[in-house]
Amino acid sequence: MDTEPVVIVAAARTPIGSLNGALSTVPLHDLCSVVIKDVLKQAGVRSDEVSEVIMGHVLAAGHGQNPARQASVGAGIPYSVPAWSCQMVCGSGLKAVCLGAQSIQSGESTVVVAGGMESMSQAPHTLQMRTGVKMGDATLQDSVVADGPVEVKVDEFPRHGSNIDSMSKLRPCFIKDGSGTVTAGNASGINDGAAATLLMSQSEAKRRGIKPMARIVSWAQAGLDPSIMGTGPIPAIRKAVDKAGWPLDQVDLFEINEAFAAQSVAVVKELGLNVDKLNVSGGAISLGHPLGMSGCRVLVTLLHALQRTGGHKGVASLCIGGGMGIAMCVERV
């Protein structure tokens, strides 16, 4: 096992699309191919120099076998390069980066594309076809007006014109007896998108003359009672910063996926975080939460935020459905 640091030399994401929005009809593997091509272009790495492609992905039904492989081939990466998907619910995209780093440190790979993708708009409704379809309506699309390219450059999900007054009137989503507090306004959305990073060893980056964005210092995952799954980042972050040897107050920026506002408040309160360092570019409630993408999305956002603000140490983390958390510490170099 090689203990040489693994560095991130490029990071990219698509805009995040709303449910049934601008990206809803784009095949998932095409979304992912876009970001794979982009990170290779950023770093000046040829597609035939990639050793492995790993993509987090959650809702796989309807996308065919191994969408990561489809995306890899679609990005022009040779057939000889293996590509595969991992599934850790909301943490899938960040877990893919951890697995990519492990692959490099084990000597299995030299250059790894790792990230996440999701098209929640394309999650299928299921129908028991063996009993037949007796009646019902169907919708036709007019190909005359639907044909033609559409360029999506900005995140689609932010609700322009929202205010506290209108959001306070939203109905609770889960508990209907008047005591519920989680609404569509303080919970993350159902979204589409893809994100990717390009990983290699520090010496490989130096050999190629590539300036890394950051080095991966540590990562950690944790499990806990599923009924309090939203607090998963608390033990995961503590473990990750312990491995890094960092006091929490020395971290410049935190990017913590806000599945729900209440969940984020609990994490901030328990860890004693300075909110001025948290999600400085906006969080999942405003941007959206495409499940398989989000783990890598928070990392990509963190890397660019560190560059923009001049910070050096950053932590990316997510809670995970089923009662888990994942976190990664990175340092800008």
d(CA 273, CA 314): 13
Burial class (CB in 10 A: 0-12, 13-18, 19+), 182: middle
Task: Note the pLDDT tens digit of each residue in 313-324.
Answer: 999 999 999 999
Active site members: 90, 319
Give backbone dihedrals phi and psi of 164, rounded to 5 degrees, phi first.
-60, -40
Task: Note the pLDDT tens digit of each residue in 220-274.
Answer: 999 999 999 999 999 999 999 999 999 999 999 999 999 999 999 999 999 999 9
Name the CATH superfamily for 6-123+189-212: Thiolase/Chalcone synthase (3.40.47.10)
Res 144: pLDDT:
46
The answer to whether residues 311 and 280 touch, using CB atoms and an 8 Å cutoff, is no
Q: Which residues lie below 8 Å from residue 267, measured CB to CB, with a gap of 6+?
A: 230, 231, 233, 234, 237, 256, 273, 319
Residues of the chain with CATH 3.40.47.10: 6-123+189-212, 215-332
pTM: 0.92
Hey, what are 216's tokens?
């991966």
Name the CATH superfamily for 215-332: Thiolase/Chalcone synthase (3.40.47.10)
